[in-house]
Amino acid sequence: MAEDIIPKRRILTEKNNFIEIVAWRVPKSESYPEGIKYSFAFVHKNKRVIAFDNFNNEGHHKHYFDKKEEYIFKSLKETASQFFKLIEEFEEKQK
């Protein structure tokens, strides 16, 4: 059974975008060697533009607009830091 590490939450930003984050502790496996399953997503105008996750047995990866690339996972804290930094940069450019 999955145990919440970060309970699912949705956050509205000052620019009316939203952030959805969640993480669970799961049994260690080939798909989840750290025993963590997570999803951090940033949505702008109803479209996911930034995300970090390890869902669907695809390993750790990052979505940035339409690009998807492998992501070297160090910790949830480091992943969250990079995720929120990209959001800050995006929203600074937003009018």
- For the chain, give the longest Cα–Cα distance: 44
Structure confidence by residue, pLDDT tens digits, 51-68: 999 987 789 999 999 999
Q: Show the tokens assigned to 27.
A: 């049994």
How far is the CA of 44 from the CAs of 15, 31, 67, in angstroms? 9, 29, 16
Q: How many angstroms separate the CA atoms of 94 and 17, rounded?
A: 11
**For residue 55, what pLDDT is reported?**
87
Q: How many CA atoms lie within 13 A of 61 on its CB side?
A: 15
**For residue 57, what pLDDT is reported?**
79
Q: What DSSP designation does 35 have?
A: S
**What is the pTM assigned to this prediction?**
0.90
Which residues have C-beta within 8 Å of that of residue 94, sequence separation ≥ 6? 15, 17, 44
Which residues of the chain register pLDDT less than 50? none
Q: Show the tokens assigned to 22.
A: 């969640």
**For residue 1, what pLDDT is reported?**
55
Q: Do residues 11 and 22 touch, judged by C-beta distance below 8 A?
A: no
